[in-house]
């Protein structure tokens, strides 16, 4: 029997990293929100790596935080080790990464959701989305509960018809022993959604007491911890170490001998796996010239002996997994606590989404996270935040928040998915961003906090801190330009920094342009430095000064990019009737329905010649309207 269980503005299906951000955003904006999870024990679950951030992904987390999301705050509460990656390279690719206590991460996020005003949390499996006249009306759970809704957000992760593969064994299951969701896929197909199968996997968890760490290389965290959240000035904890080890020639032999028993190579799986996170057997096949591969041993938390074996994802049989692990340096007597597995699941073709993350043919139905064909907690959370914001804005009758590629990595992520699509689980990398020197993780607050404040997600405290940083940076840059120093005053410090000595006077601004000079080097010279400068302000000034020429060049490129993005394409264009467009271009433009000439130019199969034809058509159309 079906029954009416409640009425909501926003219903979020799923409480993983996407669902949490979507639900919190909607509730903070003042909308009555419900998040339905197949298991309350799986809220914000780290089913794979117990970490947040990394190359490209750290940028996403800081942007989530700048907009008023929760992920940055939550990892700051629960991290057990922190590292800034790529420090030997330029600031555009500096990326923060933190190991988490995964159980504590789940507990803290669940607590945040439970205590958020306007937000209800319920354990239930959604089996049907109610739609009338192509507009959402509500959802139905397996127990018959009907929740009416003005908007709905799909954040189902890897749960739809999910199947686990371990060697010759496979069975229906969600990640980490949770239930799968076996009914919603068929309902979505009936509603016109084009679904496909993707695959991912996770390594085994092993017993800390069975590891010989003396044979491994210890990996400590950074001495200075940089928080993910711009609200936090500093974090002071005793950090837990990780360890580096390697597979051996024997490992390779074991895998090669048993490769036919891998679910991947048996042909049991139909889903497409992630290119940038291959299984250990895939590595052995693809990189046959390599005898060994590095592995990282990472703690799952402070109160458990489970260790994560990064770099050894596998779908080999359990006994083969044990044999190959015991051939690894330091794991000769290892005990497995949870075997590695591959998981296959249904997801949507993201070309069916608008840049707002609303599904094109169903009014009020939004989609976020791994269900959109992406991979990773950070990509999921970023999409969840945007979907939650835009669900709320739609209820208000306002234009959606669409971040473009020059504004945020979040903009790059969503634009890639909805414009280019993906044939494999999408992963964010710094190389995907054209303007990465402008889209650094250190300035995410300056770029996005104002937008978060306007939407209603950013607190007065965070907004004021960002304004302080902005004002301090501007004033400090001017002071550095005004402050001149003589050779007599500067040369002793320059000598210590192994920098060329001055022959005449110069400004502190010019000194900081030198690659080997930073604020610390000129401390003795710069006697008038303001004491109240934020650490973020100092970093901002250093980067802006050193990379001034390159930044200005990218800003000029962004100006040209904006012209294309601001050249909007009117709704209802019949591409099939535009003479001169190639057949492929007509089909792709009709399918994706780009919002601008800029977006149209990024569609695979639309050539520069097609864009020229489209520009001429739009100009002729405009002139006819003016007559």
For domain 205-344, is the CATH number 2.40.30.260? yes
Written out in words, the top-level CATH class of the domain with range 567-626 is mainly alpha
460-554 folds as: Arc Repressor Mutant, subunit A (1.10.10)
pLDDT band at 523 (very low <50, low <70, confident <90, very high): confident
**In the prediction, which pLDDT does 50 show?**
96
Q: Is the pLDDT of residue 627 over 70?
A: no
**H or E, element range at 198:** strand 195-202
What percent of the chain has pLDDT above 90? 90
Residue 194 binned pLDDT confidence (cut-offs 50, 70, 90):
very high
Residue 443, pLDDT > 60, answer: yes
- What lies within 8 Å, CB to CB, of 147 at 6+ separation is 5, 6, 7, 8, 11, 34, 36, 138, 139, 141
Task: Name the residue ranges covered by the structural domains of the chain.
Answer: 205-344, 460-554, 567-626
Task: Examine the pLDDT at 566 and tell me if it is beyond 60.
Answer: yes
> What pLDDT score was predicted for residue 522?
86
| pLDDT > 90? residue 343 | yes
Q: pLDDT tens digits, residue range 86-140?
A: 999 999 999 999 999 999 999 999 999 999 999 999 999 999 999 999 999 999 9
- For position 261, what pLDDT does the model report? 93
The rounded mean pLDDT for the chain is: 95
Question: What confidence tier does 270 reach under pLDDT thresholds 50, 70, 90?
Answer: confident
Q: Give yes or no for residue 586 having a pLDDT over 90.
A: yes
Region 71-97 average pLDDT: 96
pLDDT for res 49: 95
Strands (E), 227-293: 242-246
CA–CA gap between residue 136 and residue 91 (Å, rounded): 44
CA distance 590 to 584: 10
Q: Taking residues 243-269, what's their average pLDDT?
A: 93
**What is the mean predicted confidence (pLDDT) over 552-579?**
93
How deeply is 180 buried, as exposed, middle or buried, from its count of CB atoms within 10 A (0-12, 13-18, 19+)?
buried
The whole-number average pLDDT for the span 447-473 is 96
Q: How far is CA 168 from CA 100, 161, 199, 251, 252, in A?
A: 33, 19, 16, 20, 20
Q: Is there a contact between 161 and 181 (Cβ–Cβ < 8 Å)? A: yes
Joined tokens for residue 551? 């930044």
Q: Is residue 381 over pLDDT 80?
A: yes
Percent of the chain with pLDDT over 70: 100
Question: What is the sign, positive or negative, of the torsion defined by CA atoms of 558, 434, 598, 610?
Answer: positive
pTM reported for the whole predicted model: 0.96
Q: Which of 278, 280, 366 is closest to 320 using CA atoms?
A: 280
Q: Dump pLDDT digits (tens) for 401-442.
A: 999 999 999 999 999 999 999 999 999 999 999 999 999 999
How high is the pLDDT of residue 428?
A: 95
**Of 338, 82, 331, 50, whose CA–CA distance to 213 is shortest?**
331
Question: Matching CATH topology for 460-554 and 567-626?
Answer: no
| pLDDT tens sequence across 481-498 | 999 999 999 899 899 989
How long is the chain? Answer: 627
Burial 442-462, CB ≥16 within 10 A → b, else e: bbbbbbbbbbbbebebbeeeb
Q: Which two tokens stand for residue 57?
A: 């992904």
pLDDT band at 623 (very low <50, low <70, confident <90, very high): confident
- The lowest-confidence range among 17-21, 231-235, 237-241, 271-275 is 271-275
Tell me which residue of 171, 596, 621, 224 sits closest to 419, measured CA to CA.
Answer: 596
Kindly give, in sequence order, each residue whose CB lies less than 8 Å from that of residue 411, ignoring residues fewer than 6 positions away: 402, 403, 404, 405
Residue 25, helix vs strand vs coil: helix
């Amino acid at each position: 029997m079906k029954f009416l269980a409640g009425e909501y503005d926003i219903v979020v299906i799923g409480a993983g990293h996407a669902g949490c951000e979507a639900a919190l955003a909607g509730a903070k904006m003042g909308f009555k929100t419900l998040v339905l999870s197949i298991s309350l024990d799986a809220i914000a679950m780290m089913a794979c790596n117990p970490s947040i951030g990394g190359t490209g992904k750290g940028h996403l987390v800081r942007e989530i935080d700048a907009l008023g999301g929760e992920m940055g705050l939550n990892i700051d509460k629960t991290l057990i080790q922190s590292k800034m990656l790529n420090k030997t390279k330029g600031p555009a690719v500096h990326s923060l990464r933190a190991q988490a206590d995964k159980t504590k991460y789940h507990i803290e996020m669940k607590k945040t959701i439970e205590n958020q005003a306007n937000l209800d949390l319920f354990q239930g499996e959604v089996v049907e989305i109610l739609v009338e006249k192509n507009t959402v009306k509500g959802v139905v759970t397996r127990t018959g509960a009907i929740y009416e809704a003005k908007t709905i957000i799909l954040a189902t992760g890897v749960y739809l018809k999910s199947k686990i593969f371990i060697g010759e064994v496979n069975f229906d299951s969600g990640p980490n022993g949770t239930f799968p969701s076996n009914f919603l896929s068929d309902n979505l197909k009936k509603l016109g959604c084009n679904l496909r199968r993707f695959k991912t996997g996770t390594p085994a968890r092993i017993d800390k007491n069975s590891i010989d760490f003396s044979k491994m290389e210890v990996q400590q965290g950074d001495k200075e911890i940089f928080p993910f959240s711009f609200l936090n000035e500093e974090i002071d904890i005793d950090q837990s170490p990780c360890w580096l080890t390697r597979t051996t020639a024997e490992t390779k032999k074991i895998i090669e001998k048993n490769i036919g028993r891998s679910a991947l190579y048996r042909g049991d799986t139909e889903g497409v796996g992630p290119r940038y996170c291959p299984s250990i057997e895939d590595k052995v096949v693809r990189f046959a010239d390599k005898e060994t591969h590095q592995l990282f041993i990472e703690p799952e938390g402070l109160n458990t002996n489970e260790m994560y074996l990064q770099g050894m994802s596998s779908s080999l049989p359990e006994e083969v997994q044990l044999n190959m692990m015991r051939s690894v340096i330091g794991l000769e007597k290892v005990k497995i606590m949870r075997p590695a597995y591959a998981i296959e699941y249904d997801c949507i073709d993201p070309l069916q989404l608008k840049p707002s993350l609303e599904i094109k043919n169903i009014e009020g139905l939004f989609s976020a996270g791994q269900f959109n064909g992406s991979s990773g907690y950070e990509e999921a959370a970023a999409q969840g935040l945007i979907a939650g914001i835009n669900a709320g804005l739609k209820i208000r009758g306002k234009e959606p928040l669409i971040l473009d590629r020059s504004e945020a990595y979040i903009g790059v992520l969503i634009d890639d998915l909805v414009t280019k699509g993906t044939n494999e689980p999408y992963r964010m990398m710094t190389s995907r961003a054209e303007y990465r020197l402008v889209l650094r993780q250190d300035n995410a607050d300056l770029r996005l906090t104002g937008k978060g404040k306007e939407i209603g997600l950013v607190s007065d405290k965070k907004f004021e801190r960002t304004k302080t940083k902005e004002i301090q940076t501007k004033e400090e840059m001017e002071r550095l330009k005004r402050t001149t120093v003589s050779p007599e005053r500067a040369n002793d410090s320059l000598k210590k920094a192994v920098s060329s000595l001055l022959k005449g006077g110069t400004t502190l601004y010019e000194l900081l342009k030198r690659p080997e000079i930073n604020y610390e080097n000129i401390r003795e010279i710069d006697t008038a430095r303001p004491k109240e400068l934020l650490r973020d302000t100092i970093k901002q000034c250093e980067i802006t000064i050193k990379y001034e020429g390159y930044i200005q060049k990218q800003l000029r490129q962004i100006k040209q990019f904006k012209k294309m993005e601001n050249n909007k394409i009117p709704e209802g264009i019949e591409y099939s009737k535009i003479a001169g467009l190639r057949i492929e271009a007509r089909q792709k433009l009709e399918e994706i329905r780009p919002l601008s000439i800029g977006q149209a130019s990024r569609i695979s199969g639309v050539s520069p010649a097609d864009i020229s034809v489209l520009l001429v058509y739009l100009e002729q159309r405009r002139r006819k309207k003016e007559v």
